């Protein structure tokens, strides 16, 4: 809609089979509007939901019915929901303020819920902090005595302090939450470890003056090429829990099967033969397998996504023509990101003809005709993906006299270095 903002309408129809209940079907409408006032630093969002029948349950509601205890009861079925949010940036160094309003009505009874909140976020010398206040009100007029109102005021404080001076990628955190049920405080340490920050960990101690008492939690999660493993220990005054989880994904395609981390709705299949162990930039734990394939488990539908190889992690014997690909998938698609790789040695070759360096800017073509390189100063040319021996065709003009062919042979001893210095005569 241009300067008027963005507007969308969508319809969702869901069929759910809740635990120990019959299948139910429902439909919902959603209308959304947003407008960004860039000069003022203001963003406004408004969303309205209308549930046309009582049988609409989300996937979260359905899964919860199977994972919770036997006394689980279905959540109250929403009839309508309205959300409004205003984000306001206060200027450089002053943080931002967010105001939000949520109102819900339900099918099951004459009840409605209203939630209003305001929050402030900022950071100072790496220390980030936030303050928030919310008012939650539930109105119920189904009782015989008439309307009853329950109200809860909630205050929250959150502080995160980086500890990089002492420990790499580590933060100390403090959270305070005050409601009518009591006050809860959490003090913790969290961070990442190992190359590529594949391992994330968290230690937290909870202090509460409510019935739950104090608690301790230790958790760790490792993301690897072929999956994700997590584990943790938690303890409070009533119980102690130990959990271990292993999850991953598998993509079957024309070139075989590729294992991966847990898959999202829209994914990218990376093909880069000969680049085993190469990391994908901005993707924790994602790197190519022994065949040069991997999966980027989450990409954004209907948007340009840049899939890039981290060239610093390429094997010594491999190189790529272009290290980045841009893909634009549809929702739910498996989109390919194929890279043109060259497997062989990296060579800084000095090319001469009749004892003189070849002209600056001359074009060098490998024997397979797939790769072209440019001669630099003093006849030096950086070549990649070269086999142990072969020929190089060089040209710097249209005449037959302005071209030549050079033969080369690399020794086993030379191949032990990451970049080989060599020389060849062009005839």
pLDDT tens digits along 147-196: 666 888 999 999 999 998 888 889 999 999 998 888 899 999 999 998 88
- Express as a percent the part of the chain with pLDDT over 70: 92
pLDDT over 90 at 55, yes or no: no
Among residues 4, 3, 80, 14, which one has the least CA distance to residue 47? 80
Note the pLDDT of residue 76.
Answer: 64
**For range 111-116, the mean pLDDT:** 87
pLDDT of 400 strictly over 90: no
Domain boundaries in the chain?
Answer: 1-124+131-136, 265-341, 345-425
The SS3 of residue 155 is strand
- Name which of 375, 374, 373 is nearest 352 in CA terms: 375
**Listed range (1-15, 157-171, 227-241) with the worst mean pLDDT:** 1-15
From the options 3.40.50.300, 2.60.40.2610, 1.10.10.10, 3.40.50.720, give the CATH code of 265-341.
Answer: 2.60.40.2610
pLDDT at 213: 76
Rounded distance between C-alpha atoms, residue 291 and residue 343, angstroms: 13
* Angstrom distances, CA of residue 240 to CA of 237, 243, 266: 8, 10, 38
Give the global pTM. Answer: 0.66
Pairing outcome for strands 420-425 and 345-353: parallel
Question: What is the architecture, at CATH level 2, of domain 345-425?
Answer: Sandwich (2.60)
The reported pLDDT for the residue numbered 118 is 96
Q: Would the pLDDT of 310 be above 90?
A: yes
| Cα-Cα-Cα-Cα dihedral sign, residues 317, 323, 329, 332 | positive
Q: What is the pLDDT of residues 370-393, one digit of tens each?
A: 678 999 999 999 988 888 888 999
3-state secondary structure 137-150: EEEECCCCCCCEEE
What pLDDT is stored for residue 351 in this prediction? 93
- Rounded Cα distance between 401 and 388, Å, is 28
Return the pLDDT at 171.
95
What CA–CA distances, in Å, run from 172 to 164, 215, 230? 10, 17, 21
- The rounded mean pLDDT for the chain is 87
Q: State the residue for tokens 């598998």.
A: 250
User: How open is the CA angle 10-16-19, to the nearest 5 degrees?
Assistant: 150
Confidence at residue 48, expressed as pLDDT on a 0 to 100 scale:
92
**Residue (of 174, 154, 150, 170) closest to 162 by Cα position:** 170
Structure tokens at 224: 């690897």
Query: For 272-419, where are the E strands, in sequence order?
Result: 293-296, 305-308, 318-320, 324-327, 334-338, 341-343, 345-353, 356-357, 363-366, 372-374, 380-386, 389-395, 403-409
Q: Is the pLDDT of residue 72 over 80?
A: no
- The pLDDT tens digits for 274-299 are 999 999 999 999 999 999 999 999 99
Task: Identify the residue with better confidence: 40 or 107.
Answer: 40
Domains 265-341 and 345-425 equal at CATH topology level: yes
pLDDT of residue 134: 95
Two tokens, residue 146? 């008439």
Distance of alpha carbon 230 from alpha carbon 212, whole angstroms: 25
Cα(99)–Cα(167) distance, integer angstroms: 36
Residue 141's pLDDT is 57
CA 109 to chain centre: 41
């Amino acid at each position: 809609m241009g300067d008027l903002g963005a507007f969308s309408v969508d319809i969702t129809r869901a069929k759910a089979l809740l635990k120990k209940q019959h299948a139910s079907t429902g439909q919902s409408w959603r209308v959304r509007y947003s407008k960004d006032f860039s000069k003022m630093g203001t963003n406004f969002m408004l969303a309205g939901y209308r549930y046309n029948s009582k049988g609409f349950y989300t996937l979260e509601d359905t899964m919860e019915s199977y994972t919770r205890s036997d006394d689980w009861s279905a959540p109250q079925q929403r009839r309508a929901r309205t959300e409004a949010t205003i984000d306001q940036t206060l200027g450089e160094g002053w943080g931002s303020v967010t105001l939000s309003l949520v109102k819900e009505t339900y099918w099951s009874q004459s009840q409605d819920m209203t939630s209003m909140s305001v929050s402030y976020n900022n950071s100072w010398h790496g220390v980030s902090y936030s303050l928030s206040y919310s008012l939650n009100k539930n109105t119920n007029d189904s009782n015989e005595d008439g309307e009853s109102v329950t109200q809860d005021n909630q205050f929250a404080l959150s502080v995160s302090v980086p500890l990089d001076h002492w420990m790499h990628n580590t933060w100390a955190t403090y959270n305070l939450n005050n409601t009518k049920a009591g006050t809860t405080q959490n003090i913790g340490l969290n961070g990442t470890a190992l190359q590529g920050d594949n391992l994330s960990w968290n230690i937290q101690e909870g202090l509460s003056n409510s019935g739950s008492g104090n608690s301790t939690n230790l958790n760790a999660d490792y993301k690897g090429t072929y999956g994700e493993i997590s584990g943790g220990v938690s303890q409070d005054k009533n119980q102690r829990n130990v959990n271990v989880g292993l999850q991953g994904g598998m993509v079957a395609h024309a070139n075989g099967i590729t294992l991966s981390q847990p898959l999202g709705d829209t994914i990218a299949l990376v093909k880069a033969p000969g680049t085993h162990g190469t990391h994908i930039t901005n993707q924790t734990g994602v790197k190519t397998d022994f065949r040069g394939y991997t999966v980027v488990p989450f990409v954004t539908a209907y948007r340009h996504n840049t899939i890039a190889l981290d060239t610093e992690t390429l094997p010594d014997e491999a190189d790529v023509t272009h290290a980045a690909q841009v893909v634009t998938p549809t929702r739910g698609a498996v989109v390919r990101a194929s890279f043109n790789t060259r497997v062989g040695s990296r060579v800084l070759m000095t090319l001469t003809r009749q004892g003189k360096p070849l002209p600056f800017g001359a074009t060098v073509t490998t024997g397979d005709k797939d790769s072209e390189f440019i001669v630099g100063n003093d006849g030096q040319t950086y070549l990649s993906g070269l086999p142990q021996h072969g020929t190089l065709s060089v040209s710097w003009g249209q005449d037959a006299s302005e071209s030549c062919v050079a033969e080369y042979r690399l020794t086993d001893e030379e191949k032990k270095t990451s970049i080989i210095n060599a020389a060849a005569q062009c005839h």
